[in-house]
Amino acid sequence: MAQMTDTAGPVMTTADGTPLKQALARATRRSKIRAFLLVAPLLLFILVTFIIPIFDMLSRSVSNPEVQEAIPETAALLADWDGQGLPSEDVFASMAKELSKKENRREIGRMAARLNFEDSGFRSLLNKTQRRIDRVKEGPYKDALIAIDKDWGETRVWKIIQLMSPPTTLSYYLNALDRTYDQDGNVVMQPDWKQIYVQLFLKTIYVSLGVTVACLILAYPISYLLATLPPSRGNLLLILVLLPFWTSLLVRTTSWIVLLQTNGVINDTLVWLGVISDENRITMIYNMTGTVIAMTHILMPFMVLPLYSVMKTISPSYLRAARSLGANPLVAFVRVYMPQTVPGVGAGSILVFILAIGYYITPALVGGQDGQLISNFIAYHMQKSLNWGLAAALGTILLAGVLAMYWLYDRIVGIDNMKLG
């Protein structure tokens, strides 16, 4: 670049003789680098402590190393099997050899756990075989294995091992969408009693939408009041919104338990007032009702604050102008005022929806059996069933949904315009 400007004839230079254009470019570049260097430490920090862990977890949703690690040779031999009848004696022999390796015990245990997610019975089949394999001294191994457990004579068993041999799999995603492989490797629906996640995703979306709408309906009137009151009184009332916002989530959840439970404050009050009898106390918690009430309360400030900040910028003179031009109050409000609040409605709604769709704590504590959302099942597979691949697949789907909303938020509001408090 420097040569190009040099050959172009007389150039403007700085005091030390560098061409001005070049000096400018260098200064801009330096300034860019300096700006970037300021951001770099945090970027690195977030990458290491947050982004890499997230990708690391997402990779678990397709990772399927268990069979490969436990029985590499058998897996390689099985890859060539045509899936008809039973595999050849070679496959049985290599399976027997690899199952008898004592140092492989941990890998085989993990393979057994993995295969058991696909088909119940693999755990005992493999463990039983492993325990008895030492008695098998020589071939034919086919008969020997079938003698240990007749399941080794089932085409289905070998098909599943073959299907689960590749180091990556989509089976967790299929599972997360209530689908599975049949024994020929076709994607089919899970049996009725196993179908749960699609419904659960839909339920999570409905609940989040419901909470968002409830928040909007409740937040709109008070935001309008806050924005139109004189500042001194408006600020005082704003505290009623901000105090819940700053109060611990667990405190708020606790108070809803105290209020809503069968022997709680609300039921007691209703009984005392004679509205209901002592025997017919209303069940308001440990079900969906409890989840929705508590979530609406907890997320409402996230709706009020964006609405309020948008409404504060709308001049009341528009409404007055509309009125003076003959519009009745309702028409004036709906046609003139409400359209101006759309950015606030959009920002608040997306924010509440994003937060609601990933909610875990409140449903776990007050949701009972039917108030559980997708996050609770991710936690369940993380901590209880140990099906980490499925947890990762469910998490990835949830994350994709949230990121789509995040992108939408960025388009509508702009991340830089996000405000707090």
Q: Which positions from 277 through 296 interact with another protein, judged by CB under 8 A? A: 286
CB of 294 to another protein, least distance (A): 9
**Span from 93-101, 143-151, 163-171, 246-254 in contact with another protein (CB under 8 A):** 246-254
Among 16, 193, 274, 325, binds another protein (CB under 8 A): 193
- According to CB under 8 A, which one of 209, 314, 382, 412 is a site residue for another protein? 382
If one asks whether residue 400 binds another protein (CB under 8 A), the answer comes out as no
Preceding peptide of 140 cis, ω within 30°? yes
Which of 14, 155, 168, 254 is close enough to bind another protein by CB under 8 A?
254
Token digits for 24? 């400018």
Interatomic CA distance for residues 389 and 394, integer angstroms: 9
The neighbour count for residue 258, using CB atoms within 10 Å, is: 13
Interface pick for another protein out of 13, 14, 127, 280 (rule CB under 8 A): 127
Nearer to another protein, 5 or 190 (CB): 190
Stretch that binds another protein, among 5-13, 47-55, 84-92, 145-153 (CB under 8 A): 47-55
Among 6, 14, 36, 89, binds another protein (CB under 8 A): 36
Q: Which is nearer to another protein, 141 or 302 (CB)?
A: 302
Q: Which of residues 297-326 bind another protein (CB under 8 A)?
A: 297, 300, 316
Q: Which stretch binds another protein (CB under 8 A): 8-16, 86-94, 133-141, 382-390?
A: 382-390
**Range 327-366, binding another protein (CB under 8 A):** 329, 354, 357-361, 365
| HEC sequence for the chain | CHHHHHHCCCCCECCCCCEHHHHHHHHHHHHHHHHHHHHHHHHHHHHHHHHHHHHHHHHCCCECCHHHHHCHHHHHHHHCCCCCCCCCHHHHHHHHHHHCCHHHHHHHHHHHHHHHHHCCCHHHHHHHHHHHHHHCCCCCHHHHHHHHCHHHHCHHHHHHHHHCCCCECCHHHHHHCCEEECCCCCEEECCHHHCCHHHHHHHHHHHHHHHHHHHHHHHHHHHHHHHHCCHHHHHHHHHHHHHHHHCCHHHHHHHHHHHHCCCCHHHHHHHHHCCCCHHHCCCCCCCHHHHHHHHHHHHHHHHHHHHHHHHHCCCCHHHHHHHHCCCCHHHHHHHHHHHHCHHHHHHHHHHHHHHHHCCCHHHHHHCCCCCCCHHHHHHHHHHCCCCHHHHHHHHHHHHHHHHHHHHHHHHHCCHHHCCCC
Q: By C-beta, is 163 or 350 nearer to another protein?
A: 350
Q: How far is the CB of 136 from another protein (least distance, A)?
A: 20
201 counts as binding another protein under rule CB under 8 A:
no
CB of 6 to another protein, least distance (A): 26
Q: Are 381 and 319 in contact (CB under 8 A)?
A: no
> Exposure of 16 by Cβ count < 10 A (0-12 exposed, 13-18 middle, 19+ buried)?
exposed
Question: Which position among 78, 345, 391, 413 is part of the footprint of another protein (CB under 8 A)?
Answer: 391
To another protein, the closest distance from the beta carbon of 302 in angstroms equals: 12
Stretch that binds another protein, among 71-79, 143-151, 159-167, 232-240 (CB under 8 A): 232-240
Choice between 77 and 341, CB closer to another protein: 341
Of residues 137-156, those binding another protein (CB under 8 A): none
Distance in angstroms between the alpha carbons of the first and the last residue of the chain: 50
Report in angstroms how near the CB of residue 10 gets to another protein at its nearest.
Answer: 29
Judged by CB under 8 A, does residue 7 bind another protein? no
Residues 67-126 that bind another protein (CB under 8 A): 105-110, 112-113, 116-117, 120-121, 123-124
Nearest to another protein of 137, 384 (CB atom): 384
CB of 100 vs another protein, minimal distance in Å: 15
From the list 152, 181, 256, 308, which residue makes contact with another protein (rule: CB under 8 A)? Answer: 256
Interface pick for another protein out of 180, 195, 289, 340 (rule CB under 8 A): 195
